[in-house]
């Protein structure tokens, strides 16, 4: 009994981790340094009048790609651009031509683009007009991550090439000098020299360090854990000893049995990967991902789907596939060849669908808005987790004796999964409620639902609550007792949240504090000075946390920056942004950070998922995608992508009233000191240019 309960407990913990993955919004990756370029020429001892060919080469990191320059620049992506300083010693012949760039259609840009992977190569022909020509310029380009879909702010890397001329003309030695100073260092030096003579200085954006994030590898590991959880369900677990016995008894040799077991496992992985491949084609980029995560239609649909899954787990009905189809596939599994083993695996996948379907559905809902690899590899990892026990026990059949027998504990796993599905179904409903300001699922209502679910789950562990397929429980095992304690404790932990406690451990999963109707000691939630000021646009329905005064309109923030002579702290955020809430609770709330935000900056929060439609005279057609931007969120996200080449939140940038970038961009990073350094850098740069 102890072994049974321990497996039950492990399965529940794994599922909690899996669902946390579903709700985590992964912060984007970032390059650790500015990409370097090497430059070479194809001739030595050049004479005046000769034409040389310069080759520009840059190595691109794994999973990143660079946009080339041989596509329509009006599509939206930033094409590579070569700028040469005018000089009487040479002239350009044609333009810089890419070598080896690949063209493909990108749905988000509605057109063909050209990119480099692994290595970018451009060639430029140059005619020498005078001895010792000095060729200087810069390369302006952008790199993006093909897994996360995020793009770095454009780089502007300087170069200098000294072409050698025949000795009878000048005696100069051939020399190729790639830039040995990063663009950030060069610009910083120029700023020091020119501050006294220039009215304003433009600070080059310094890419943030690689943000703290749920990595792609972690996603795959948790997807695999989801497959392992599926094994501990009534539809799969009883099939484990039968399947393993087939491989051990029907095989003439041990090697043959192991080979068949591996074929069986790989078939399961291949079947789920094929399903992921189908859904991979729905990865339509950041615009689609934003719509999927914030629009009311998919979120209400996901809410309904999760409630249906929960009802199935709780025993109301079973989600099954047509019996005729299952029987037809099962009939082919008797074949002795590898084809027969594949159909055995296919049969397992089909008959276990009533238990695995909700878990697979949850995984696909999380991955459908991602890039191509995410749903494909996620489903393959899930299949690997499901197939792993079958393969391992086929290799070591003696271990089967240590497994608990099938029984009522398997149904208990399903019921616990049902409780968790109900809890997370309300997360989808909450997203739609917050984005559209319906006010039907405020923070305290949401918490009340979760508290009741936690208490009911604790009662279930104690045997005080029983569902239709549950077996009689003559006594409570020690593991079930401790699980009941954990469930009741979780419910008690949430109770202070009804009165305004921040509940940092759940930040991002709960509706924002601004939806709380009552906070103990304050009465109704108080708005800050600027939020209660009717001159602040959108302050009647948008709010800042921790009593920070600020704005919600980009142009208004620019005007206030000039009036108050303060830098602007731009907060690209979203109602449905989990990591945005974590930053506000774990970083913004720190005294040193909060003091700076309140006193030293004009804070403007730009919600990328705000659906409120603006007056028609404020609409405009985006140069990026040619679409009319009617809502606050559409205009804010268009600004973020067009100006900062980024589509994920949170993103923080510090600028002045003339839109000169002073610090950042900064992404999700809960380390307090790095955020303080980011703020101080922006403030100090502002002081240099605005005495």
Q: What is the pLDDT of residue 571?
A: 94
Q: What is the pLDDT of residue 495?
A: 93
Q: What is the pLDDT of residue 550?
A: 92
Q: Which residue has the higher pLDDT, 486 or 189?
A: 486
The pLDDT tens digits for 671-684 are 889 999 999 999 99
Q: How confident is the model at residue 247 (pLDDT cuts 50, 70, 90)?
A: low
Q: Which residue has the higher pLDDT, 491 or 373?
A: 491
pLDDT > 60? residue 217 = yes
Q: How confident is the model at residue 367 (pLDDT cuts 50, 70, 90)?
A: low
Candidate from 425-434, 584-593, 674-683 with smallest mean pLDDT: 425-434
pTM listed for this prediction? 0.48
Secondary structure (DSSP) of 414-426: HHHHHHHHHHHHH
The pLDDT tens digits for 250-291 are 666 777 777 877 888 888 888 888 877 776 665 544 455 556
Q: What is the pLDDT of residue 345?
A: 76
Would you report the helix, strand and coil content of the chain in percent, each value rounded to 5?
45, 15, 35
**Which residues are within 8 A (CB) of 109 and not within 5 positions of it... i.e. 6 or more apart?**
75, 76, 77, 625
What CATH number labels 550-689? 3.40.30.10
pLDDT > 50? residue 12 = no
The pLDDT tens digits for 618-646 are 999 988 778 899 999 889 988 988 888 77
How far is Cα 188 from Cα 586, in angstroms, rounded to an integer? Answer: 32
pLDDT > 50? residue 584 = yes
Q: What is the pLDDT of residue 252?
A: 65
Work out the number of other CB atoms within 10 angstroms of the CB of residue 349.
23
pLDDT > 60? residue 370 = no
Q: How confident is the model at residue 555 (pLDDT cuts 50, 70, 90)?
A: very high
Mean pLDDT of 61-71: 86
Q: What is the pLDDT of residue 261?
A: 79
pLDDT > 90? residue 597 = yes
Maximum average pLDDT range among 17-26, 43-52, 226-235: 43-52
CB 543 within 8 A of CB 616: no
Q: What is the pLDDT of residue 575?
A: 82
Percentage of the residues of the chain whose pLDDT score is greater than 90: 17
How far is Cα 68 from Cα 139, in angstroms, rounded to an integer? Answer: 11
pLDDT > 60? residue 179 = no
Q: What is the pLDDT of residue 559?
A: 92
Count the residues in the chain: 691
Q: How confident is the model at residue 522 (pLDDT cuts 50, 70, 90)?
A: low
The DSSP H or E segment spanning 103 is strand 102-106
How far is Cα 155 from Cα 151, in angstroms, rounded to an integer? Answer: 11
First to last CA, the chain: 75
Over its C-alpha atoms, the chain yields an Rg (Å, rounded) of 30
Mean pLDDT of 40-55: 84
pLDDT > 80? residue 127 = yes
CB 446 within 8 A of CB 511: yes
Q: What is the pLDDT of residue 317?
A: 72
How far is Cα 263 from Cα 273, in angstroms, rounded to an integer? Answer: 15
Q: What is the pLDDT of residue 13?
A: 39
Secondary structure (DSSP) of 460-477: HHTTSS--TTPPP-SS--
CB 125 within 8 A of CB 53: yes
Torsion 269-270-273-278 (CA) sign: negative
Q: What is the pLDDT of residue 168?
A: 44
pLDDT > 70? residue 437 = yes
Q: What is the pLDDT of residue 23?
A: 37
Q: What is the pLDDT of residue 14?
A: 41
Mean pLDDT of 539-552: 88
The pLDDT tens digits for 391-400 are 887 777 767 6
The pLDDT tens digits for 319-346 are 655 555 555 555 555 545 667 777 777 7
The whole-chain average pLDDT of the chain stands at: 75
How far is Cα 666 from Cα 669, in angstroms, rounded to an integer? Answer: 8
Q: What is the pLDDT of residue 585?
A: 84
CB 123 within 8 A of CB 52: no
Q: What is the pLDDT of residue 57?
A: 92
Q: Tell me how far CA of residue 139 lies from CA of 79, 90, 118, 155, 535, in angstroms.
A: 11, 18, 18, 8, 44
Q: What residue spans define the domains of the chain? A: 2-26+213-408, 38-181, 442-526, 550-689
How far is Cα 502 from Cα 490, in angstroms, rounded to an integer? Answer: 15
CB 219 within 8 A of CB 213: no
The pLDDT tens digits for 374-413 are 677 888 888 888 888 888 877 777 676 666 655 566 678 7
Q: How confident is the model at residue 28 (pLDDT cuts 50, 70, 90)?
A: very low
Question: Going by DSSP bridges, is the β-strand pair 550-551/602-607 parallel, antiparallel, or unpaired?
Answer: parallel
Q: What is the pLDDT of residue 442?
A: 86
pLDDT > 80? residue 99 = yes
- Can you name the CATH fold of 38-181? Immunoglobulin-like (2.60.40)
Q: What is the pLDDT of residue 233?
A: 67
Q: How confident is the model at residue 292 (pLDDT cuts 50, 70, 90)?
A: low
Q: How confident is the model at residue 596 (pLDDT cuts 50, 70, 90)?
A: very high
Candidate from 151-160, 474-483, 534-543, 668-677 with smallest mean pLDDT: 151-160
Mean pLDDT of 502-522: 75
Q: How confident is the model at residue 606 (pLDDT cuts 50, 70, 90)?
A: very high
């Amino acid at each position: 009994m102890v072994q049974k309960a321990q497996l039950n407990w492990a399965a529940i913990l794994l599922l909690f981790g899996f669902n946390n993955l579903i709700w985590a919004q992964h912060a984007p990756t970032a390059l650790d340094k500015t990409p370097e370029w090497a430059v070479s020429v194809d001739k030595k001892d050049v004479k005046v009048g000769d034409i040389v060919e310069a080759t520009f080469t840059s190595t691109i990191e794994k999973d990143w790609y660079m946009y080339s320059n041989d596509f329509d620049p009006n599509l939206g992506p930033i094409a590579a651009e070569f700028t040469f300083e005018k000089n009487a010693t040479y002239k350009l012949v044609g333009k810089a031509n890419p070598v080896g760039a690949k063209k493909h259609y990108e749905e988000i840009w509605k057109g063909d683009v050209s990119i480099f992977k692994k290595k970018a190569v451009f060639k430029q022909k140059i005619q020498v007009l005078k001895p010792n020509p000095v060729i200087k310029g810069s390369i302006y380009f952008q790199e993006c991550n093909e897994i996360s879909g995020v793009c770095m702010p454009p780089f502007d890397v300087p170069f200098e090439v000294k072409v050698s001329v025949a000795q009878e003309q000048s005696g100069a030695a051939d020399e190729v000098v790639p830039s040995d100073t990063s663009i950030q260092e060069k610009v910083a030096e120029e700023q020091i020299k020119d501050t006294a003579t220039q009215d304003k200085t433009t600070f080059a954006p310094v890419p943030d360090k690689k943000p703290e994030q749920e990595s792609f590898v972690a996603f795959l590991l948790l997807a695999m854990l989801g497959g392992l959880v599926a094994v501990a369900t009534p539809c799969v677990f009883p099939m484990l000893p039968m399947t393993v016995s087939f491989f051990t008894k029907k095989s003439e040799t041990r090697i043959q049995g192991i080979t068949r077991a591996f074929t069986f496992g790989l078939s399961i992985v291949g079947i789920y990967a094929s399903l992921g491949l189908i859904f991979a084609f729905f990865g339509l980029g950041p615009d689609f991902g934003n719509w999927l995560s914030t629009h009311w239609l998919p979120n209400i649909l996901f809410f309904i789907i999760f409630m249906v899954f929960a009802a199935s787990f709780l025993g109301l009905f079973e989600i099954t596939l047509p019996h005729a189809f299952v029987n037809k596939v099962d009939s082919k599994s008797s074949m002795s060849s590898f084809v027969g083993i594949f159909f055995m695996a296919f049969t397992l996948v089909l008959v276990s669908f009533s238990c695995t379907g909700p878990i697979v559905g949850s995984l696909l809902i999380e991955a459908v808005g991602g890039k191509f690899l995410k749903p494909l590899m996620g489903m393959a990892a899930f299949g690997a987790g499901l197939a792993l026990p079958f393969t391992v026990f086929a290799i070591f059949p003696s271990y089967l004796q240590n497994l608990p027998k099938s029984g009522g504990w398997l149904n208990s796993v399903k019921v616990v999964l049902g409780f968790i599905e109900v809890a997370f179904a309300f997360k989808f409903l909450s997203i739609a409620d917050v984005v559209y300001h319906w006010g039907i699922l405020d923070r305290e209502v949401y918490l009340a639902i979760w508290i009741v679910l936690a208490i009911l789950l604790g009662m279930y562990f104690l045997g005080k609550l029983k569902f239709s397929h549950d077996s009689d429980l003559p006594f409570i095992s020690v593991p079930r007792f401790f699980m009941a304690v954990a469930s009741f404790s979780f419910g008690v932990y949430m109770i202070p949240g009804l009165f305004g406690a921040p509940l940092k451990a759940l930040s991002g999963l709960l509706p924002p504090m601004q939806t709380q109707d009552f906070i103990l000691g304050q009465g109704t939630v108080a708005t800050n000075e600027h939020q209660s000021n009717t001159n602040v646009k959108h302050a009647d329905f948008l709010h800042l946390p921790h009593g920070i005064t600020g704005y919600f309109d980009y142009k208004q923030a620019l005007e206030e920056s000039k009036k108050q002579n303060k830098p602007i702290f731009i907060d690209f955020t979203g109602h449905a942004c989990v990591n945005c809430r974590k930053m506000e609770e774990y970083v913004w709330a720190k005294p040193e950070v909060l003091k700076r935000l309140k006193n030293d900056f004009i804070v403007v929060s730009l919600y990328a998922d705000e659906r409120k439609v603006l007056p028609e005279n404020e609409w405009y057609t985006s140069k990026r995608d040619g679409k009319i931007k009617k809502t606050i969120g559409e205009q804010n996200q268009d600004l973020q992508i067009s100006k900062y080449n980024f589509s994920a939140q949170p993103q923080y940038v510090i600028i002045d009233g003339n839109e000169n970038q002073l610090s950042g961009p900064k992404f999700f990073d809960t380390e307090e000191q790095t955020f303080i350094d980011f703020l101080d850098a922006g403030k100090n740069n502002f002081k240099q240019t605005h005495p």
